[in-house]
């Protein structure tokens, strides 16, 4: 666990007092996740014969909405804590938040921008989905470096032990206790899902198939991985039987399955493979 890439102590330059300055690994990997997600979304947009600039703008709007939604969701889930510790509200600016909160917030923003820009909604969603899951895969590596989103205690050979007191103070990571590397589990699952989505994109039979497949695959993976999570900033429902993320995963899977036949009927053949009439001779 390396929560800090490097730190510069306070120093004086001319008449100004500068520092201290710390470059956090999580922030660097999060920035890399955003850039990588935008890059692959642009590539997928070109393959789908979409305006790559519009899809990139859509990705940026979705990103901003996702960041805000994730932090609002964390505030809701941990309301009992933040309502009693108002000074800690500023810590939300440093936390990643709850991913599902960001995903839910991104839906209406994406719908608004698609209507505003004239992009075909399902096809744009298909172009965006691989970028989202690639961002998740890299972002979870940042979580591992920071020590957040940690797993439950484990005796497995690949269990990890965190020893950085900086992370313990910042995110409450248990020290000197072998834990499931839940962050790496989710990162690996996201990379696998990325490969599946790219394969589906090459052979999809209708617009919307990639996006809906992403929702189902990630939700199923997240539902299972939640059983191995040990951090408490996740909320619970049904008397603690399920975490908040598991409940949302169930709703998203049911919603995606309900939308699947509608998308199949209305999506039509994808632009890249749709049949074109033969020129008249």
Does residue 119 belong to any structural domain of this protein?
yes
pLDDT of residue 215: 95
Gap between the Cα atoms of 136 and 140, Å rounded:
6
8 domain residue, yes or no: no
Distance from C-alpha of 162 to C-alpha of 177, rounded to nearest angstrom? 7
Total domains present in the chain: 1
Average pLDDT over residues 215-230: 94
Amino acid 95: pLDDT: 58
For residue 32, being part of any structural domain is answered with yes
pLDDT, residue 266, reads 77
Residue 105's pLDDT is: 87
> In whole numbers, what is the pLDDT of the chain averaged over residues?
84
- Contacts (Cβ under 8 Å, ≥6 apart) of 10: 17, 18, 19, 20
* pLDDT at 273 (0 to 100): 44
Query: Could you give the CA distance from residue 234 to residue 230 in angstroms, rounded to a whole number?
Result: 9
pLDDT in tens, 83-111: 776 666 665 555 556 777 888 888 899 98
Pick the range with the lowest mean pLDDT from 100-114, 150-164, 197-211, 259-273: 259-273
Contacts 24+ apart (CB under 8 A), 186-190: 186/136, 186/140, 186/149, 186/221, 186/222, 186/225, 187/136, 187/137, 187/138, 187/140, 187/141, 187/144, 188/137, 189/218, 189/221, 189/225, 190/133, 190/134, 190/136, 190/137, 190/140, 190/218, 190/221
Domain annotation covers residue 92: yes
In a domain, 250, yes or no: yes
The pLDDT, as a whole number, for residue 81 is 66
Question: Rounded to 5 degrees, what angle do the CA atoms 225, 228, 229 make?
Answer: 95
| pLDDT in the model for residue 87 | 66
Mean pLDDT to the nearest integer, 185-203:
96
Of the candidates 209, 208, 210, 223, the residue with the CA atom closest to the CA atom of residue 253? 223
What is the pTM (predicted TM-score) of this model?
A: 0.83
Is residue 225's pLDDT more than 90? yes
Domain interval for residue 86: 21-265
Identify the band that residue 4 occupies on the pLDDT scale cut at 50, 70 and 90: confident
């Amino acid at each position: 666990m390396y929560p800090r890439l490097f730190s510069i102590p306070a120093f004086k330059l001319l008449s100004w007092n500068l520092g201290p300055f710390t470059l956090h690994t999580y922030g660097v990997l999060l920035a890399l996740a955003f850039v990588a997600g935008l890059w692959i979304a642009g590539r997928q947009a070109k393959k789908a014969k979409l305006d790559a600039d519009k899809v990139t703008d859509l990705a940026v709007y979705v990103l901003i909405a996702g960041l805000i939604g994730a932090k609002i969701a964390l505030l809701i889930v941990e309301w009992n804590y933040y309502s009693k510790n108002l000074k800690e509200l500023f810590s939300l600016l440093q936390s990643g938040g709850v991913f599902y909160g960001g995903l839910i917030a991104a839906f209406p923003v994406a719908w608004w921008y698609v209507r505003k820009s004239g992009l075909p909604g399902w096809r744009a969603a298909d172009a965006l989905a691989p970028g989202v899951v690639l961002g998740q895969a890299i972002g979870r590596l940042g979580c591992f470096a920071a020590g957040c989103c940690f797993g439950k205690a484990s005796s497995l050979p690949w269990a990890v032990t965190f020893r950085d007191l900086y992370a313990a103070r910042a995110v409450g990571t248990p020290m000197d206790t072998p834990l499931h590397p839940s962050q790496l589990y989710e990162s690996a699952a996201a990379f696998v899902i990325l490969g599946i989505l790219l394969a589906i994109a090459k052979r999809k039979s209708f617009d919307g198939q990639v996006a809906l497949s992403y929702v189902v695959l990630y939700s199923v993976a997240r539902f299972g991985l939640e059983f191995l999570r040990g951090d408490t900033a996740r909320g619970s429902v049904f008397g603690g039987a399920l975490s908040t993320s598991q409940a949302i995963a169930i709703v998203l899977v049911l919603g995606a399955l309900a939308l699947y036949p509608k998308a199949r009927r209305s999506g039509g053949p994808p632009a890249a493979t749709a049949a074109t009439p033969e020129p008249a001779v």
